Amino acid sequence: MAIQITPELLHSIALPYRSNLQKRDAQNANIQALAPAMNCWFPTYHITTKLRVAHFLAQSCAETADFTAMTEYPARGGKEYEPDTRAGQRVGNHFPGDGPKYIGRGLLHLTGRDNYLKLSQKFEENLIDYPERVASEYSLAVRTACEFWDSKGLNSYADLDDFDTITYRVNGGHNGKEQREQALRRIKKILHI
């Protein structure tokens, strides 16, 4: 039986923003909208066991700054993903301006023209001309993350409780590793894992 994702569950793993009202309001709004979208898409992608849910949510919590931001804020405004950079080439950015246009969005930060194009075709959604939809439409934010999760075979690593491999495949390194580990510990405690 699938685990029911509730706003209360998401709040319990995200660090609260008590003094920053803007972040607190964004977190609350995002969590309220994300829970039903997760319940819609998790079964389709077999993110249904305690370990799978725990690892997916821990990574998502870190990628979105505790569910406050559905868009990444790169240090150089996305220019680090331009076609003439290694990072831009890796994510399939081909034209000047692709870096800022196709910055990471959604729960696991869909990044790069080629990735937006691939999911545009698969979902029959226009994400190339309207990439901001991945951040503003919660169902797409969750679905793109689930598709990424599935494409990287992360359910099998979650089944093994292999945090390091999941983190590397989501992030390409160990950026935010401590935040991811802390979120995973919190959700494991809540789910009695």
Tokens of 55: 């690892």
pLDDT at position 73 is 84
pLDDT at position 106 is 97
- For 136, which DSSP code? H
**DSSP bridge pairs for 71:** 105
Q: What distance in Å separates the CA atoms of residue 49 and residue 54, rounded to the nearest whole number?
A: 8
CATH of residue 38: 1.10.530
pLDDT tens for the chain, residues 1 to 193 = 679 999 999 999 998 888 899 999 999 999 999 999 999 999 999 999 999 999 999 999 999 999 999 999 877 778 899 999 998 999 999 999 999 999 999 999 999 999 999 999 999 999 999 999 999 999 999 999 999 999 999 999 999 999 999 999 998 878 889 999 999 999 999 999 9
pLDDT at position 191 is 95
Give a yes or no: residue 168 inside a domain.
yes
Give a yes or no: residue 166 inside a domain.
yes
Domain count within the chain = 1
Give a yes or no: residue 141 inside a domain.
yes
Domain of 144 in residue numbering reads as 7-69+137-191
Q: Nearest 5°: phi and psi at 7?
A: -55, -35
Give a yes or no: residue 46 inside a domain.
yes
